[in-house]
Chain A
Amino acid sequence: MILAQTIKKVALVGNPNSGKSTLFNALTGLNQKVGNFPGVTVDKKTGIYHFKNARGEKQFLELVDLPGTYSLFPKSMDEKVSFEVLCDPSNPDHPDLNIIVADSSNLERSLYFASQVIELRIPAVLALNMEDVSRKMGINIDVDKLSEILGVPVVKVSARNRGSLTQLHDVIQSEVQASDKELMPMAEFKPNVLARVGDLVKANSTYAAFQVACNYPFIGYFEKHPEKAEQISAWLEEEGFKPYTLQARESQIRYQFISDLVKIVQQREERKQINFTEKLDNLLTHPVLGFVAFLGILFLMFQAIFTVAEKPMEWIEYSFTELIAIANDYLPAGLFTDVLTEGVLAGLSGVLVFIPQIAFLFLFIGILEDTGYMARASLIVDSFLRKFGMNGRSVIPMVGGFACAIPAIMATRSISNWKERLITIFITPFMSCSARLPVYTLLISLVIPSDMKVFGMNVQGLTLLALYLLGIVMALISGWVLKRIIKADYAGTFVMEMPTYKWPDWRSLFITIWEKVRIFIWDAGKIIVAISIVLWFLSSYGPTERMEDVQLNYEVMQNDPAVSDSLADAMYSAQKLENSYAGILGKSIEPAIQPLGYDWKLGIALITSFAAREVFVGTLATLFSVGDPDDEATLREKMRQQKSQVSGAPMYGLATGLSLMVFYAFALQCMSTLAIVKRETNGWKWPIIQFFAMGAIAYLASLVTYQAIVHWF
């Protein structure tokens, strides 16, 4: 049977910026899935790639996109993944065929990694990508000669031009063999050690044995076979095999070989052309104009995420409100309907509502990455952010965090240094996201008079600005502290290629956005829906006798002609929440939050708003029996009338209001963020630390705020 045939595993390998991902998207389209390589948060993109062969039959290949690297030496997590897949034949992803992607406009650098991979003696095809770009630069490559010297088929492709891919298909379906050429004089690299190592691990080639000998401490395989690692270690010791020296020597010999090779196969017409990249760089990395452009781009991005995404978010929320209403109307009342509407559907709505923001942020990030601007932005802010334990690439997540921490944290994958990435993930939720806005506006309008002015400036507006600044400052302070606490496995160097400017490939970009959205829905969505069902249960159920009393009370109110039906309903919801498990929990934490100036009602709101910060407003509306949860003015009035039972002063005064704002500025009151941090750090350790650390900061800061205002003003 045809389907029972084992599908060939093909790996796509190459340098960063070689157009590898664009080629992957062009080959697989939407038939792909993105996950993690086992044990690490390195994107593993796999896809099914099919095409019609010469006989018109459909052929299927399983394609895996390995992380872009410059060489086989495993120095970072990305490189370690590529290394293990390629050098360990027992690895589940070890390919039957490599498609090596080379950037034809930078042949020398591309061939370094390409020739290393070829020498692993896995069947390989060299795809000279970005043929269109190199042609414009006047570069002409002799494909046949290159193929002859390297011993592998060579094809010119352009990922942007799908027609050019047929040649690649033709080559792949022919029986591609591994190269039999020895490109490096392996005799100079302690061949007797290599022979022994090669035998021990059943390496494909002497060169593969060399890589294993140099890098065995970084290979997962040896964790299961420690005796083999000890054996290798002993051999290296015996023979004076020094990995660093030999790797450095390999680089030199290999580049010499490649530079000779490039002289043979590449002709370059001397064209007097204005160097576009250099001109644009003069502007975009200019000490003044560079920052103006940078702020302009960030502002545009921020505006788009904030305002353009707002409408679709409203539609999603509106559709779910309608859907919930319909379900309530048509389904029989009872537990099932309640779980469905208030648990599952409410949770789903909470998941899907983030899609517009995620899509917009990744659209912008994709454009910035693909055009090459991201490297420039990183360059100009690197020295500043480095003081706070981050690098230039952290700037995008930080700015994205003003809209929503979720896509921002997903965007940290482009930071290759794990420590800097972790710090960026940690501090991003301090940036004031859009979900804090409803909380801030309610509290500001509650405790600060709208006509209050300082130097002609509206104090309400200034307070909001101060809250944003507070978030930024706390983010930087936390970064500074974390830089000194977190230990890094990899020291990590900041050596960044500045790619030439290019237009983004839109088709590929949209596939990427789609994948990001899908990851969020599948990976984070499960956790979010689960937590929202738990929260729903806690806030709808309580001890039986209490709930029976509430029910009885409701029936009395319904029969009382002095109480209108809507008031009775509102009071019922309030009492139900008050006597639910969440309500009891909220009351029980009152002693702990009293020093912050909060009462039990705020306690309940703090608990329920763990689902999402904006739930705070809705919960208070319920507790104060405001029929319409969006009726902020009524809620504000009711809150103003509350008097403290101790002093008789207004319960929700300036001190409590500011203390609450500070609390929401710092606390990680967002289950979706926790869910995504769990995904991006590969476990519950970091989200839990983050939740408690931010909670502690929020508690202390609110305590200081409240006590300071009460005592000194």
Chain B
Amino acid sequence: MKSLRDLKIGERATVVEFKEGEFALKMMEMGVVPGKIVRLIRKAPSGNPIVIESGMSLIAVRLEESDAMLIKII
């Protein structure tokens, strides 16, 4: 299964599932729930954190934490 690390800027992916933890709850409460489509918008100059778009929201996440989110690239 892929994670956000595998996404190139502009690419879209479907959220498949989360590994249990705080990151998962945090993302889910912000609307990034399994089944949702997200898009990688940009990366910070050092490549980390990254910014994804979900619905109307832009959300910055740290790569290491985002490994808990498994995705399927569209």
Contact = CB atoms under 8 A, between A and B. Distances in A.
Interface of A: 70-71, 73, 75, 105-109, 112-113, 244, 247-248, 251-252, 255, 277-278, 281-282, 285-287, 290-291, 375, 378-380, 382-384, 386, 491-498
Interface string B12-51: 0000001010111111111101111000011011111101
List the 7 shortest-distance A-B pairs measured between CB atoms, nearest first.
A71-B29, A251-B28, A498-B58, A287-B45, A383-B46, A106-B56, A70-B29
A83 to B, nearest CB: 13
A382 B22 contact: no
22 contacts: A70-B26, A73-B29, A75-B22, A105-B56, A106-B55, A107-B56, A108-B55, A108-B56, A112-B31, A244-B25, A248-B18, A255-B36, A282-B42, A379-B51, A382-B44, A383-B47, A494-B49, A494-B60, A494-B61, A494-B65, A495-B30, A497-B57
Contacts of B42: 281-282, 285
B45 A285 contact: yes
B22 to A, nearest CB: 5
Given A70-B30, A109-B31, A495 B61 contact: yes
B8 interface: no
A383 B48 contact: yes
A251 B22 contact: no
A494 B68 CA distance: 13
Interface residues of B, number: 34
Contact of B45 (A109, A290, A494): A290
Given A244-B20, A281-B42, A493-B65, A73 B25 contact: yes
Given A109-B55, A382-B49, A384-B46, A495 B31 contact: no
A386 B60 CA distance: 15
A106 B58 CA distance: 11
Nearest to B20: A244
A663 to B, nearest CB: 36
Interface of B: 18, 20, 22-31, 33-36, 41-42, 44-49, 51, 55-62, 65
B60 A498 contact: yes
Contacts of B56: 105-109
Nearest to A15: B30
Contact of B27 (A247, A281, A286, A495): A495
Contact of B33 (A251, A278, A282, A286): A251
A291 B22 contact: no
B22 A379 contact: no
A242 to B, nearest CB: 10
A255 B65 CA distance: 22
B40 to A, nearest CB: 13
B31 A108 contact: yes
A278 B58 CA distance: 10
A496 B60 contact: yes
A497 B56 CA distance: 11
Contacts of A107: 56
Contacts of B65: 493-495
A636 to B, nearest CB: 46
A678 B68 CA distance: 37
B34 A112 contact: no
Contacts of A491: 22
A109 B57 contact: yes
Given A379-B51, A498-B51, 13 more contacts: A73-B29, A108-B56, A244-B20, A248-B20, A251-B33, A291-B45, A384-B46, A494-B65, A495-B59, A496-B59, A496-B60, A497-B30, A498-B60
Nearest to A70: B29
Nearest to A109: B31
Nearest to A291: B45
A38 B1 CA distance: 45
A247 B18 CA distance: 13
A106 B54 CA distance: 11
A180 to B, nearest CB: 25
B26 A495 contact: yes
Most B-side CB within 10 Å, residue of A106, A375, A493 = A493
B62 A382 contact: yes
A386 B9 CA distance: 23
A252 B65 CA distance: 20
Given A244-B20, A251-B29, A491-B22, A106 B57 contact: yes
A495 B60 contact: yes
B49 A251 contact: no
A493 B22 contact: yes
A75 B27 CA distance: 12
B25 to A, nearest CB: 6
A107 B31 CA distance: 11
A255 B44 CA distance: 29
A494 B23 CA distance: 8
A255 B33 contact: yes
Contacts of A380: 44-45
Contacts of B30: 70, 109, 495, 497
A379 B26 contact: no
B25 A75 contact: yes
A495 B51 CA distance: 10
Contacts of A495: 23, 26-27, 30, 59-61, 65
A385 to B, nearest CB: 11
Contacts of A382: 44, 48-49, 62
A285 B44 contact: yes
A460 to B, nearest CB: 36
Contacts of B58: 277, 497-498
A564 B31 CA distance: 81
A71 B65 CA distance: 20
B26 A493 contact: yes
B25 A248 contact: yes
A425 to B, nearest CB: 22
Given A252-B28, A252-B34, A383 B59 contact: no
Nearest to A113: B29
A281 B57 CA distance: 14
A244 B56 CA distance: 26
Nearest to B50: A379
Nearest to B51: A498
Contacts of B55: 106, 108-109
Contacts of B47: 383
Nearest to B56: A106
Contacts of A378: 60
Contacts of A494: 49, 60-62, 65
B24 to A, nearest CB: 7
Nearest to A495: B26
Given A70-B30, A379-B51, A382-B49, A248 B24 contact: yes
A383 B46 CA distance: 7
Contacts of A287: 45
A380 B51 CA distance: 11
A497 B58 CA distance: 6
